[in-house]
Amino acid sequence: MLPGKTIERIRVLHSDVLRQPSRDFSARLKGRDFEAVHRRGKNIVARLSGGGVLVVNLGMSGRLVLVRDEAQTTHPAVRFTLSAGPPLVYDDVRRFGALEVMDESEWAVRDHRLGPEPLSSSFTARGLHADLSRSVSPIRSWLLDQRRVAGIGNIYANEALHLAGIHPQRPAKSLSEHEARRLHRAIRRTLSSAVDNRGTTLRDYRDSSGIPGNNASKLLVYGRDQEPCSHCSTRIHRFVFGNRAAFCCPNCQPVGVSSSNG
């Protein structure tokens, strides 16, 4: 949708989403063409003609929308007029997201700091177990740390831990090799099903065409406090640690290491 289009005009409506002065940001984008666009962790990375990249971190509520109808955006922060088609708008209710133009070497440094992509071949069960064994962090916090694995947010961390039968507060290093293998499989399943369902609309996420994601109904524990577990009917328990909500089934995800885990 974007590759091949030229950025003709940039209008910054809320400069607090930029990681650089708005004049500098605009000067580095004006007249450039979008080349390939890919995702890396929680970032959308758009290569620009003449070198450099536009990196968009969506934060909690950010989205990039090709706006055919103004009603598609509620909190536009940056608007790009393109050489063809509708304008591209960065819309963000809470404005925890960030946009930044970087040169290739700056991006390479940032990219290097991110952990493996969970759906790539560099993310292995063996590697995961080895990494987990070096940390006493609660496993849910470990999964949210973008330097360990890239692109896992709180919703999918909770979902993957439920699928794997692991309590969110278990210390990372307490996971057996068998549990690490289950978690590895659960992360991949959770993320690939989320991609198939175009993301999860809980607050206001939309993909770049503005179509709501339809993954929310497929969530097993997240947002389901007091509802019966789909596996054993025990009520799902919500609690908060590390400033984020956690959801789990107390029966399927025991706090201690369960004896059935080999």
> Binding of Zn ion at residue 249 (CB under 5 A)?
yes
Distance CA 91, CA 74 (A): 7
Residue ranges in 108-147 that form contacts with Zn ion under rule CB under 5 A: none
Of positions 149, 220, 229, 246, contacts Zn ion by CB under 5 A: 229
Strands 237-241 and 88-92 come out as unpaired
- Give least dist CB 152 to Zn ion, A: 22
How many angstroms separate the Cα of 113 from the Cα of each of 95, 116, 120, 132, 150? 23, 10, 16, 17, 10
- Give least dist CB 229 to Zn ion, A: 3
Closer to Zn ion by Cβ: residue 48 or 221: 221
- Give least dist CB 210 to Zn ion, A: 36
**What is the pattern of x (binds Zn ion, CB under 5 A) and - over residues 178-217?**
----------------------------------------
Q: Which residues are CB-contacts of 18 (< 8 A; sequence separation ≥ 6)?
A: 12, 25, 78, 98, 99, 100
> Binding of Zn ion at residue 232 (CB under 5 A)?
yes
Closer to Zn ion by Cβ: residue 27 or 232: 232
Residue 12, φ and ψ in degrees, nearest 5: -95, 115
Residue ranges in 49-68 that form contacts with Zn ion under rule CB under 5 A: none
Closer to Zn ion by Cβ: residue 156 or 247: 247
The three-point CA angle 240-242-244 to 5° equals 50
Of positions 38, 231, 241, 258, contacts Zn ion by CB under 5 A: 231
- Give least dist CB 161 to Zn ion, A: 12
Distance CA 180, CA 126 (A): 8
Of positions 251, 254, 257, 261, contacts Zn ion by CB under 5 A: 251
8 Å CB contact between 42 and 115: no
> Binding of Zn ion at residue 252 (CB under 5 A)?
yes
Distance CA 155, CA 226 (A): 17
- Give least dist CB 127 to Zn ion, A: 29
Q: How many residues bind Zn ion (CB under 5 A)?
A: 7
> Binding of Zn ion at residue 172 (CB under 5 A)?
no
Q: CA 98, 102, 108, 111: dihedral to nearest 10 degrees?
A: 10
Distance CA 14, CA 169 (A): 37
8 Å CB contact between 227 and 249: no
- Give least dist CB 256 to Zn ion, A: 16
Q: Point out which residues bind Zn ion (CB under 5 A).
A: 229, 231-232, 234, 249, 251-252
